[in-house]
Structure 1
Amino acid sequence: MIGLPAALFWAYGIGSTFALAAARQLQFLERRAADRTGLPRLLAPRLISRAANPYLCLTLLYAAVLLAPTGLFLMWQNPSWSTMHIADGHRGVWAGLPLLYAGGVVTATLLGFLLAQALCLVGAGYWAYLNCVAGHFLLFGTLVHGWDGQGYRRFLSTDGAALRAWSEDSVINCVLRFLTSGTFLTLLVLGAAVIGTLLLTEIGWLAEGWLLPGGAQDLKVPRFLAVAIAGAGLYGLPLLGALLASTLVRFLGYPVGLAVFAAIAGGLLLPRRSPVRWLYGLVGLPKGHWRATADLLPENRATAARS
Structure 2
Amino acid sequence: TEMLLDTANPYGGRSGSAENYKDALTLLMKAMDELDSPEHMPNGLDPSIWEHFCLARRNKVESEELVKWKALTLVEMQAFLQRRMDDNEKIKSEIEDIFQELTWLREEKMKLQLNLTVQFLLKQGQVELESTEIPDYTDAILINKSVIEELNCSIMAQGEKKIASMVECKDFSKGIFQLEWEHKKMRMQIEDLKQKAWDIVTLPISKDRQLFLTVLNYDSHIAHRISVMEQTLGTMDQLHKKYVKNRQKRIKELEKCISLKEQANYELSLELKEMLVSVSERRHVFEAADAQHVSEKSAKQRYHEILKQKHLQRLVKEQEEQLEILQTEVE
| TM-score, length-scaled by structure 1 | 0.21
Larger of the two Rg values belongs to structure = 2
| TM-score, length-scaled by structure 2 | 0.20
The one of the two structures with greater contact order (alpha-carbon pairs below 8 A, sep at least 6) is 1
